[in-house]
Amino acid sequence: MWILKRLLFPVLMLSIVSGCAVNKSSIGGFNLISVDEEKQLGDKFAVEIEKQHKVLNDSEVQGFIDGVGKRLLAGVREVDFPYTFQVVQDDSINAFAIPGGHTYVNTGLIKASDSETELAAVMAHEINHVVARHSTRQMTQRYGYALIASILLGNQGELSKLAADMFGKAGTLYYSREMESQADYLGVETMYKAGYNPQGMVTFFNKLEATGQSEPGRISKYFSTHPATKERITSIQEEISKLPPKSYSPDSTSEFSRVKAKTKNL
């Protein structure tokens, strides 16, 4: 009976997790994976992902993205993980974060951003998927706890397959609509607290919608599966309207201009 209970516990817990709604104003929530386990999982995934993606070897570009990421972390609700920020050479308009806080920005996103604020908006969204621990919650729902546990125990074959399936060439871990909406909500809050004008999220998604209609091939599959752009823009505008008036840093800097110019030549 004890063995049966141990076998049934993860199944029961997964059904509970699957039935739980996401409260966008709260980052708490049941998670079968502990914070320490998520750190280990993230480190393992990072090794696999950096085999699949070419990490840019440019100290100025990497330093700039690292600086934007660290500034945004000052505006998040909790920092449970040792976040890292890296640029990968890929022309699709995308960024993605994996368990444990490893965050990747495509050169295509830098090229598509008209300001540092727009770039920060996408990074803020991704960072808050990690803050709310969406990835491990989604992974256990989609793949089951047993598979995640086997990877933590060193199953290299499953790790490689799962990394390729989830993040593939363009970072394609699909979240629920509620999780996406929460990452937008928390992203607006993070930008506001970090001194970035959250209106940059609106201008970027307006641009994303226009680009998706005129040049659908430039938009990564990741963005194309997010909640409807018009709907999310309306929701973001509503959240921004609730914020107290505040002075923000300039939307862009000379450093951003240099970094964008560099990536255009890659």
**What's the chain's length in residues?**
266
- Predicted pLDDT of residue 248: 96
What does the block give as tokens for 163? Answer: 């990394």
pLDDT recorded at residue 19: 42
CA-based torsion, 89, 92, 97, 103: positive or negative: positive
Q: Which amino acid is at 108?
A: G
Question: Which residues in the chain show pLDDT less than 50?
Answer: 1-19, 170-171, 222, 224-225
- Reading the block at residue 245, the tokens are 């008036």
| Per-residue pLDDT reduced to its tens digit, 203-254 | 998 888 776 565 655 555 545 445 567 888 999 999 999 999 999 999 999 9
SS3 label, residue 79: coil
Instruction: Give the pLDDT of residue 217.
Output: 57
Report the distance separating Cα 258 and Cα 90, nearest Å: 19
Global pTM? 0.86
Q: Quote the pLDDT of residue 227.
A: 55
